[in-house]
Amino acid sequence: MAEAPRMPDETGVPEIEPYLHPVLKKNYGNWKWHDRPRPGVLHHVAHSGDEVWTVRAGTQRQMDVYTIRKLMDIADDFAEGYVRFTIRSNIEFMVSEESKVQPLIDKLLEEGFPVGGTGNSISMISHTQGWLHCDIPATDASGAVKALMDELHEEFVREEMPNRVRLTISCCQINCGGQGDIAINIQHTKPPKINHDMVGNVCERPSVVARCPVAAIRPAVVNGKPTLEVDERKCICCGACFPPCPPMQINDPEHSKFAIWVGG
């Protein structure tokens, strides 16, 4: 008899309940109060009288399998086997006894993971990863994140800022990563220079024309060859035409810059 066909697995966000620390599961929605006994630690008390301490550590976000295994070993050995990730790629460990907090922090610091980010601090920087999956990036955002967080990570650890500050870095001015108070992006400041000799051989001109969000590109003929031209009064220097047509040369060592947008 033929085997029954394999049914597709449902995808999407899984139910969180099976992954919750037992104290969080038991007291879900029934918390009475919480405080922050020290930077990087939150202490929650439930109406039932149960208590849980959450220790937050920063990660480098794009982690290799060895780092993930190291964090999971820390969770098993020092934190009752439960973790969760925050929206800004911090990792949080939950423990149900106060006596477990300091050994957990000591282990995290020993392994190079900064503890902080729960109070008035500079957050771990959320960033895009267009270098891995997108065709527009002007640069690799994660390199800029590393350089900046090397400078700022004391503000994550000490939590002595006047208020919380959320930083983001994006690899182009479309700013996919921009849910923050201060966004840092790569911004081109000049329209593309077109290498007309190459356009006819390399580019599918209608798709390049369609790619421009402000209809600044149109077909043209230069020196008898089919090519493209850009209306520089319309061009917003977004760089979207470069991926389908590399002769639209917009990356420039002088005119492609980091821009800092303040104000969310």
Which residues of the chain form contacts with ligand SF4 (CB under 6 A)? 128, 130, 134, 136-137, 170-172, 174-176, 191-192, 211-212, 214, 216-217, 230, 235-241, 250
> From the CB of 123, what's the least distance to ligand SF4, in Å?
18
Residue nearest to ligand SF4 (CB): 130
> From the CB of 256, what's the least distance to ligand SF4, in Å?
11
> From the CB of 133, what's the least distance to ligand SF4, in Å?
7
Half-sphere exposure of 244 (CA within 13 A, CB side): 14
Q: Are 100 and 78 in contact (CB under 8 A)?
A: yes
Which of 28, 258 has the CB closer to ligand SF4?
258
Which of 55, 172 has the CB closer to ligand SF4?
172
Which of 191, 247 has the CB closer to ligand SF4?
191
67's enclosing H/E stretch is helix 65-78
> From the CB of 92, what's the least distance to ligand SF4, in Å?
26
Which of 95, 245 has the CB closer to ligand SF4?
245
> From the CB of 244, what's the least distance to ligand SF4, in Å?
10
Q: Are 188 and 250 in contact (CB under 8 A)?
A: yes
**Residues 6 or more apart in contact with residue 216 via CB below 8 angstroms:** 191, 230, 231, 232, 234, 235, 236
205's enclosing H/E stretch is helix 205-211
Which of 41, 250 has the CB closer to ligand SF4?
250
70: burial class by Cβ within 10 Å (0-12, 13-18, 19+)? middle
Q: Are 250 and 238 in contact (CB under 8 A)?
A: no
